[in-house]
């Protein structure tokens, strides 16, 4: 398994490559949500400076008609840069990809929808070589998917899980309703004893889980069954903490270090998300009454 | 020649399906007992789906089945058999979200249409073209689109397009929200949505309430435009809504559509329908993205603001034209002297003041105070079963 790091900016890549990071994911200016965004020029600089590194670009915003021309243009330009692949959400990207027969690989990254092997195989037949598994499925479901598809799979190991994305400007609207101006800073909202990060850009509002997910106790098993990439997502995590986490995860992968696992638990807690927790969707009649 | 636009209604059970078709829906969408995004609604068994299709087809109308969960591995086994059973029951289209299902249906049941669910949040021409090539017959567009964007998609893809016109709205893009999973452990993309977007949160550090719930959608003012730009189907939300709600909402949109076709949709008529629609609403409404970028006026910021509605007074079970006696089952309190209206599936409305009221045994009474009580009233008109009594809309 390779570790794919989502760093906060291109300035810190030296640190991570020295630790051993071999893959990075960035967003692209104007086309991404929940990723640090960079420009095409910066992408060219990265591939030139770090030739052995795999660079993935996430284009994961919802696309509207008015953006299709510029989207097609950047997808064409990306084909002239030796990136490893493009993570996509909107199906317009797959449509344009087929039209131009680009050289780079596509990564199916429909955040909450990558939940079964049949759909993985459907996209594989469409020429999509990779997928990022949804954070809302269990480790056993991940293993089952891996056993039934030829796709190379990514899974989130560490990061604030993305819970929801709206086109609405929920923070701007909230402050406007009180005749105040939104200061463009992410906020924390709370419900019962839990907190969540709410963040707004020109593309709308995202809500992320407040507690960082820690999947390191499943790392070895996921590595053993052949998950190709473990993602460490630095979004809303400080550079100092992220650097420590990347080092520790490498130590676990390479040396099966229990100390590093404990150190990570100490740093970010033990929120294992849905790795070992199955969601329900049919509520029993007696449960409904509560 | 342009196809006549379809008015598409939800139905949570057979009775609601029959009512909504009688009140003017051209087609109905229903959920089966598996694979639909309203996992906790009553939903239809295979036998009920057969009966629903027979009833609708006899009226030259259609029935669509939602099969729009985002599949997990455990859901895959058996879905092929289920699709076969539903297809043989006579369903006209499947509303799907997961693309591997599209291929299966188009390969095995080419005569059954496939409609792409709004769960996919399809927002642009290229994405529509992708699904068109996959064999999708109709796309239910994302609710985040403006009328201009919808028109552009219709003009440039030629695909049949379905647009939501009325009902509850999601705060987030459909398919891009798992708040329910994280806060309540219920899988929103498999029908377990617990409507966390209607919860009240607090802003850290200042204890102020933060909510993000949206007002409901009401596009009655834009129906003519949607018809003119070539929309195929106008969809009402709400498979868990009541008989009265469906009869009222579908009746209103039926009259708006017909008046537009007959060049008789005046401002006065539209206002009257808007007034009737507002009486069954339990939240404020807005046209949301159809005419502008949704802003703070489309949301609630002070928690839940839902209104309990007691306009619905009774459901007619029979009418004796000789004695001019209507029999109904009471739903809400009414009494002698109340101004009421009896509205029928064929669009007639009889306004009157209640003068003579009887119980089940024809004893004179002055008050109907018990829900489910059988009440008889003297009314002269062309009244049928499933007519409904409501407080007068002034």
Establish if B212 touches chain A: CB-CB under 8 angstroms. yes
H or E element: which one contains B390?
strand B388-391
Q: Are both B131 and B203 inside the same structural domain? A: yes
Q: Are both B130 and B50 inside the same structural domain? A: yes
Q: Are both B220 and B327 inside the same structural domain? A: no
Establish if B303 touches chain A: CB-CB under 8 angstroms. no
Contact B39, B190 (CB under 8 A): yes
Closest CA to B110 of B120, B98, B102: B102
Question: Hey, are the CB atoms on A65 and B152 less than 8 Å from each other?
Answer: yes
Sign of the torsion angle spanned by Cα atoms B16, B21, B23, B24: positive
**How would you list the strands of the sheet with B209-210, edge to edge?**
A162-166, A204-209, A194-201, A187-191, B201-203, B209-210
Residue of chain B with shortest Cα separation from A121: B100
A130: pLDDT confidence band, cut at 50, 70 and 90?
very high
**What pLDDT sits at residue B63?**
98
B48 falls within a domain: yes
Q: How far is CA B319 from CA B137, B324, B325, B328, B331, in A?
A: 43, 7, 6, 9, 18
Establish if B167 touches chain A: CB-CB under 8 angstroms. no
Q: Are both A248 and A122 inside the same structural domain? A: yes
Q: Are both A78 and A144 inside the same structural domain? A: yes
Establish if B207 touches chain A: CB-CB under 8 angstroms. no
Chain B, residues 316-375, CB within 8 A of chain A, namely: none
Number of domains in chain B: 2
Phi, psi of A108 (to 5 degrees): -70, 120
Q: Which is more confidently placed, B42 or B281?
A: B281
**What pLDDT sits at residue B40?**
66
Q: Are both B277 and B333 inside the same structural domain? A: no
pLDDT tens, B64-110?
Answer: 999 999 999 999 999 999 999 999 999 999 999 999 999 899 999 99
**What pLDDT sits at residue B191?**
86
Nearest to B203 among A145, A189, A280 (CB): A189
B370 falls within a domain: yes
B239: pLDDT confidence band, cut at 50, 70 and 90?
confident
- Beta-sheet pairing, A204-209 with A162-166: antiparallel
CA B32, CA B9: separation in Å to the nearest integer? 16
pLDDT tens, A61-107?
Answer: 999 999 999 999 999 999 999 999 999 999 999 999 999 999 999 99
Residue of chain B with shortest Cα separation from A120: B100
A140: pLDDT confidence band, cut at 50, 70 and 90?
very high
Q: How far is A178 from chain B (nearest CA, A)?
A: 9
Q: How far is B343 from chain A (nearest CA, A)?
A: 34
**What pLDDT sits at residue B1?**
58
Chain A, residues 185-224, CB within 8 A of chain B, namely: 187-191, 194-196, 207, 209
In this complex, how many residue pairs, one in chain A and one in chain B, have their CB atoms less than 8 Å apart?
197
Q: Please give the share of chain A, as a percent, with pLDDT higher than 90.
A: 93
Q: What angle do CA A188, A173, B305 make, to 5 degrees?
A: 90
A282 falls within a domain: no
Residue range B117-132: mean pLDDT, rounded = 97
B172: pLDDT confidence band, cut at 50, 70 and 90?
very high
Establish if A176 touches chain B: CB-CB under 8 angstroms. yes
Phi, psi of B262 (to 5 degrees): -90, 10
B304 falls within a domain: no
Q: Which of A152, A175, A210 is the last residue of a domain?
A: A210
**What pLDDT sits at residue B94?**
98
pLDDT tens, A218-265?
Answer: 999 999 999 999 999 999 999 999 999 999 999 999 998 999 999 999
State the residue range of the domain holding A63. 2-160+212-277
Establish if B300 touches chain A: CB-CB under 8 angstroms. no
Q: How many CA atoms lie within 13 A of A107 on its CB side?
A: 24
Q: Are both A80 and A17 inside the same structural domain? A: yes
Q: Are both B177 and B136 inside the same structural domain? A: yes
Q: Are both B282 and B212 inside the same structural domain? A: yes
> Any idea what the CATH number is for the domain that residue B359 is in?
2.40.30.10
Residue range A139-154: mean pLDDT, rounded = 98
Residue range A4-23: mean pLDDT, rounded = 93
| pLDDT beyond 60 at A286 | no
Q: How far is A45 from chain B (nearest CA, A)?
A: 31
CA A68, CA A228: separation in Å to the nearest integer? 31
A194 falls within a domain: yes
B303 falls within a domain: no
Q: How far is A101 from chain B (nearest CA, A)?
A: 15
Question: Hey, are the CB atoms on A281 and B123 less than 8 Å from each other?
Answer: no
H or E element: which one contains A3?
strand A2-6
Q: How many CB atoms lie within 10 A of CB B342?
A: 23
Contact B338, B302 (CB under 8 A): no
**Set of chain B residues whose Cβ sits within 8 Å of the Cβ of A170:** 171, 212, 299
Structure tokens of B301? 């910021």
- ipTM, two decimals, is 0.94
A123 falls within a domain: yes
Q: Are both B294 and B180 inside the same structural domain? A: yes
Q: Are both B14 and B80 inside the same structural domain? A: yes
Q: How far is B381 from chain A (nearest CA, A)?
A: 42
**What pLDDT sits at residue B302?**
65
**Cα B123 off chain centre by:** 22
Nearest to A116 among B73, B183, B299 (CB): B73
| pLDDT beyond 80 at A216 | yes
State the residue range of the domain holding B345. 312-391
| pLDDT beyond 80 at B41 | no
B305 falls within a domain: no
Q: How many CB atoms lie within 10 A of CB B355?
A: 9
Q: What angle do CA B339, B362, B371 make, to 5 degrees?
A: 55
Q: Are both B334 and B210 inside the same structural domain? A: no
A284 falls within a domain: no
pLDDT tens, B184-235?
Answer: 999 999 988 999 999 999 998 877 889 999 999 999 999 999 999 999 999 9
CA B20, CA B26: separation in Å to the nearest integer? 9
Q: Identify the residue whose tokens are 């119980």.
A: B359
Question: Hey, are the CB atoms on A170 and B100 less than 8 Å from each other?
Answer: no
CB crowding B315-324: b at 16 or more within 10 Å, else e? bbeebeeeee
A290: pLDDT confidence band, cut at 50, 70 and 90?
very low
Q: Are both A110 and A45 inside the same structural domain? A: yes
pTM of the entire structure? 0.95
Number of domains in chain A: 2
Q: How far is A229 from chain B (nearest CA, A)?
A: 21
Query: B312 pairs with which residues across the strands?
Result: B390
Q: Are both A27 and A72 inside the same structural domain? A: yes
**What pLDDT sits at residue B379?**
93
**Cα B119 off chain centre by:** 16
Question: Hey, are the CB atoms on B70 and A63 less than 8 Å from each other?
Answer: no
Question: Hey, are the CB atoms on B191 and A281 less than 8 Å from each other?
Answer: yes
Question: Hey, are the CB atoms on B176 and A112 less than 8 Å from each other?
Answer: yes
Closest CA to B24 of B209, B254, B245, B224: B254
B19: pLDDT confidence band, cut at 50, 70 and 90?
very high
Q: Are both A83 and A151 inside the same structural domain? A: yes
Q: How far is B186 from chain A (nearest CA, A)?
A: 5
Q: How many CA atoms lie within 13 A of A58 on its CB side?
A: 27
């Amino acid at each position: 398994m390779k570790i794919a790091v989502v760093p906060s900016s291109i300035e810190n890549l030296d640190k991570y490559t020295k630790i051993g990071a071999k893959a990075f994911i960035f967003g692209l200016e104007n086309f991404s949500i929940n990723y640090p965004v960079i420009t095409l020029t910066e992408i060219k600089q990265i591939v030139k400076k770090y030739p052995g590194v795999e660079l993935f670009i996430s284009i994961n915003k919802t696309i509207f008609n008015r953006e299709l021309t510029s989207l097609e243009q950047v997808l064409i330009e990306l084909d002239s840069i030796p990136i490893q692949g493009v993570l996509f959400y909107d199906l317009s990207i797959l449509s344009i990809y087929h039209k131009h027969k680009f050289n780079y690989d596509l990564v199916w990254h429909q955040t909450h929808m990558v939940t079964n092997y049949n759909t993985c195989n459907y996209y594989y037949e469409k020429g999509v070589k990779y997928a990022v598994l949804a954070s809302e499925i269990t480790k056993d479901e991940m293993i089952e998917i891996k056993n039934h598809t030829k796709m190379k799979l990514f899974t989130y190991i560490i990061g604030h899980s993305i819970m929801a994305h709206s086109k609405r400007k929920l923070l701007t609207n909230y402050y406007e309703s009180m005749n105040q101006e939104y200061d463009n800073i992410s906020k924390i909202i709370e419900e019962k004893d839990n907190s969540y990060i709410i963040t707004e850009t020109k593309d709308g509002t995202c809500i992320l889980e407040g507690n960082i997910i820690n999947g390191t106790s499943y790392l070895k098993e996921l590595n053993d069954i052949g998950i190709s990439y473990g993602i460490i997502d630095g979004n809303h995590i400080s550079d100092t903490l992220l650097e420590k986490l990347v080092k520790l995860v490498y130590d676990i992968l390479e040396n099966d270090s229990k100390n590093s696992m404990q150190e990570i638990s100490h740093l970010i807690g033990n929120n294992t998300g849905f790795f070992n927790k199955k969601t329900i969707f049919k509520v029993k009649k007696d449960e409904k009454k509560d | 020649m342009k196809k006549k636009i379809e008015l598409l209604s939800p139905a949570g059970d057979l009775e609601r399906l029959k009512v909504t078709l009688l009140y003017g829906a051209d087609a109905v969408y229903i959920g089966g007992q598996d694979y639909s995004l309203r996992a906790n609604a009553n939903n239809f068994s295979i036998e009920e789906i057969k009966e629903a299709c027979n009833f609708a087809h006899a009226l030259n109308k259609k029935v669509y089945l939602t099969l729009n969960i985002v599949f997990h591995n455990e859901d895959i086994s058996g879905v092929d058999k289920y699709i076969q059973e539903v297809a043989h029951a006579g369903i006209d289209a499947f509303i799907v979200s997961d693309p591997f299902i599209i291929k299966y249906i188009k390969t095995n049941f080419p005569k059954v249409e496939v409609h792409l669910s709004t769960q996919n949040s399809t927002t642009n021409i290229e994405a529509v073209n992708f699904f068109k090539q996959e064999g999708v017959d109709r796309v239910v567009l994302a609710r985040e689109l403006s009328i201009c964007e919808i028109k552009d998609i219709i003009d440039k893809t030629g695909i049949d397009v379905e647009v939501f016109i009325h009902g509850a709205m999601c705060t987030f893009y459909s398919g891009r929200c798992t708040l329910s999973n994280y806060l309540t452990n219920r899988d929103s993309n498999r029908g377990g949505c617990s409507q966390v977007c209607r919860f009240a949160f607090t802003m850290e550090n200042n204890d102020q309430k933060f909510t993000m719930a949206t007002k409901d959608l009401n596009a009655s003012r834009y129906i003519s435009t949607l018809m003119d730009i070539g929309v195929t189907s106008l969809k009402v939300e709400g498979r868990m809504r009541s008989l009265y709600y469906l009869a009222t909402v579908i009746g209103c949109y039926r009259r708006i559509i017909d008046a537009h076709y007959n060049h008789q949709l005046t401002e006065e008529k539209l206002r009257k329908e808007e007034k009737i629609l507002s009486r069954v609403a339990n939240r404020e409404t807005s046209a949301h993205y159809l005419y502008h970028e949704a802003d703070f006026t489309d949301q609630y910021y002070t928690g839940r603001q839902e209104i309990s509605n007691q306009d619905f007074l009774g459901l007619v079970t029979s009418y004796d034209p000789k004695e001019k006696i209507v029999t109904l089952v009471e739903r809400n309190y009414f009494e002698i002297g109340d101004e009421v209206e009896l509205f029928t599936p064929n669009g007639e409305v009889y306004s009157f003041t209640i003068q003579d009221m009887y119980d089940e045994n024809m004893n004179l009474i002055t008050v109907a105070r018990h829900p489910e009580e059988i009440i008889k009233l003297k009314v002269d008109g062309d009244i049928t079963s499933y007519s409904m009594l409501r407080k007068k809309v002034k």
